[in-house]
Structure 1
């Protein structure tokens, strides 16, 4: 069972997931431009930004808690450039001092509510790093609103090369890829809300339904019909980051 809710950290989402006791159909995790900090079975993990669907599948009965950062926010809080974690799931102990990570993981494990304890940790880390870069927030906001890369660069006052370099560090890939990922997520949200494929494609910024179908195959490895079938199943997986590592 999967559940999520808005975090006290601006733009972030807290989520929990408990895998079924018996193996079930694996749900691929689709790109969304985000990074997650996860806790499970005494381990802290980081899920980097994806450029393609990440295979689902969990250990039967395993419980997970996670915080999904807004696009561009995770690298500053965790101190790790996003492109170094692109399409990867990494133990936090491989990135930070092991003793520090083990102590924090143990505190979460001993808490009555691991998800709340994980969120508290993230809030403390965010307080230490300060507010997110307003330029990067603006980049994500412009692209998520359907602006072109060129218009976004003009709006935030960056040259094309600067925008690309800063996007790699913040989002894990260049602005063109981020724009495609965010557009796909907009379209899929509309489909889940009941829009037809054609209407969702146009509203999200695709040229037509065929364009959306191509993006779905390229970024998610699924047809739209297969995605809808999985989305309507009884045990959905997190939409942004795999619980497997």
Structure 2
């Protein structure tokens, strides 16, 4: 028994520690992570058996987690073919960027009013770490996603955070496109630093404006990358 436990991967141990009520969330988070890191991209077929083996669970929970993700529009079922990472058109992506920009701006206005000095210091450190990660999109992008989620969470508005997350999940592939070049990643992180300067000055209007502009800038980079 001890040898079996020792042989379990860290991810499998994490799964084993959760009750069935949260197991589906763990599986959904792992699948989203595969998309964030570029292991899975839009149009890729999801192999339920492989994912179940990776997690050390049966296919039942994997299938149920995929159904949840389908409701969130991250994946889609194709008749007689299985489950696939959802693809969206460029026009739809542009519309989602506009929605996301408004939500991010609102989160910034709220966060600037209530952020603590320690929270701000933590964000500064993460921006510095992102700067070190600029040469590699596979390293930069997941940290960028996490930084954005943290900024939105600091709004102390859980419903806003959920809405932002739902919209953002549909855009993972397009967001990566806009951060492929070193110059794009450098510009993105410079904008992060500007946002934190506005937060430090406790300026809700400036913070909201900069955070909305940051997303719209990402939209333009994405469109330019696709044109190229």
TM-score, normalized by length of structure 1?
A: 0.22
More strand by share: 1
Q: Which has the larger radius of gyration?
A: 2
More helix by share: 2
TM-score, normalized by length of structure 2?
A: 0.23
